[in-house]
Chains A and B, each alone.
Chain A
Amino acid sequence: MTDINARIQDYITKDDIVLFMKGTPIFPQCGFSSVVSQVLQHLGVNYESYNVLEDMELREGIKDFSDWPTIPQVYIKGEFIGGCDIIKEMFESGELQQLVTEKGLN
């Protein structure tokens, strides 16, 4: 594993819910990142976020790590759950609430 992969692996192992986003939850710098952080805040779960705009290595590395071309990206318990569309769809259908409950995260 290269350094960036090890670092990402460490991030997603250390915290139960991890959001890789553009900007921060308080000051999102992209509409999609904003939506996802709002969903997580609405769920009332604890999550860690990383601002890829401040970290070019992470910004490119996370795309390869997840085999996913866009940011934001959400990981729960080390598993890649999806980007904005999937998180939104899961939230609207109630699946996301169910998932965090199943994992004991709320």
Chain B
Amino acid sequence: MAMAIDTLEEMIKEGLPGCSVKIEDLAGDGDHYAAHIIYEGFAGKSRVQQHQMVYKALKGKMGGELHALALTTAAA
């Protein structure tokens, strides 16, 4: 139920090309992360849609391997 921070970052960057992402390991256990993502492609999307785009980038790992990923997203 854990994922390396680098893997997480790579997947987000691959799914949302050109985004800026900052990930924090909240508990230091490799299982509770917070990701702050700024991505041009979020423009004009609702928060739900923005988070759905991130979840798509994570290819089904959210809710499975990743239980605890707090997300904040912004277009710019």
Contacts and interface: CB of A to CB of B under 8 A. Distances in A.
A83 B50 CA distance: 12
Nearest to A71: B63
Contacts of B71: 85
A63 B67 CA distance: 14
A54 interface: no
A100 interface: no
B63 A83 contact: no
Interface in B26-76: 47-48, 51-52, 55, 60, 62-64, 67-68, 70-72
B63 A85 contact: no
Nearest to A73: B48
B48 A81 contact: yes
Interface residues of B, number: 14
Given A63-B63, A69-B55, A69-B62, A82 B70 contact: no
Contact of B62 (A70, A80, A89): A70
A86 B63 contact: no
A67 interface: yes
A89 B70 CA distance: 11
Nearest to B47: A86
A68 interface: yes
Given A69-B62, A70-B62, A70-B63, A89 B52 contact: no
Interface of A: 32, 63, 67-70, 80-86, 89-90
Given A68-B51, A69-B60, A85-B71, 20 more contacts: A63-B63, A67-B52, A68-B48, A68-B55, A69-B55, A69-B62, A69-B64, A70-B62, A70-B63, A80-B48, A81-B48, A82-B47, A82-B48, A82-B51, A83-B51, A85-B51, A85-B70, A85-B72, A86-B48, A90-B47
